Structure 1
Amino acid sequence: MFGPDFFERLSQRMYYDLDGNPITQDQWSVLRRGAGSAHVARDHIGFYHVSTVWTGIDTTAPLDNDHGHTPLIYETMVFVERLDPDGVLSEDDLLDCTEQFAELHATRDAALAGHYRATAMVRDWLVNGRPEL
């Protein structure tokens, strides 16, 4: 993910609306606030959290202006809950932000399909064990 050109791409990032159309950073900020947390879907399965969000930012965009590039502006991620045998952690502190799985998507429909694939994968992990990634 953090290749040699990552920070150069980050400084030249493009912003996109929910349908993948280019917008300004100001328009993105307004949309992001209006979208709340921008969650498309989220599930808590066992001690895993599956979260799919609209980011509106394509971190995979090529540095040269490749007009054939499809922006990947939705992301599905799987996180694991921290162990809390004493019950002292707040709900926010229970989530370990180390991703167990991540996948990028171009559209809301693709993001929802990716979310459902990720929840099926997590259910399989609970039954058969999580393989080393």
Structure 2
Amino acid sequence: MPYYDVDGREITEDEWKRLSDDRVYLRVGATELRSDGPPQTVIRVSTVWTGVDTGGWEIFESLVDKDGRKAMVVKYHTRDAAKEGHNALVGKFMSELPPGAREAREIPAEET
């Protein structure tokens, strides 16, 4: 299985393992969205570098978790596309939160 760094350069499995342990390196974005509701809702959007080519050369992915359940996974080819996709998902899910007090916060790397 081929492995790639964040710039799309092929790397060894050992290098991939080392980079995968670096939360700052792999992280593109992590945002928590909350609404007091009703109903109270918590959505987490996490976008990371995976570095693994599973067939489509998509080495980044966003995971959307809504109230503790996986709601969506989106994959990207580049870091720039992953950043844009992360921001688009945050905007989409923020607009879908129930009325009430709404909040968005970046999640620190140590919390992910």
TM-score by length of 2: 0.73
For 1:122, the aligned partner's letter is: F
Structure 1 gaps of 5+ residues are 1-12, 62-70, 82-95, 129-133
- Deviations 1:12-66 (CA, angstroms, capped at 9, x unpaired): x2111111111111110112223457221010001000000011012234xxxxx
1:50 counterpart (40, 45, 54): 45
Percent identity, aligned pairs only?
Answer: 34
Could you say which structure has the larger radius of gyration? 1
1 or 2 for the larger relative contact order (CA 8 Å, sep ≥6)? Answer: 2
Unpaired runs of 5+ residues, structure 2, are 35-41, 100-112
* Structure 2 CA distance for partners of 1:32 and 1:107, relative to 1, 3 Å: same
Indicate which of 88, 104, 110 corresponds to 2:81.
110
Q: TM-score, normalised by structure 1?
A: 0.62
Write 1 or 2 for the structure with the bigger share of strand: 2
Aligned partner of 2:10 in structure 1 is 22
Residue-pair matches, total: 92
Q: How far has the Cα of 1:125 moved from its partner?
A: 1.6
2: CA distance between counterparts of 1:35 and 1:49? 17
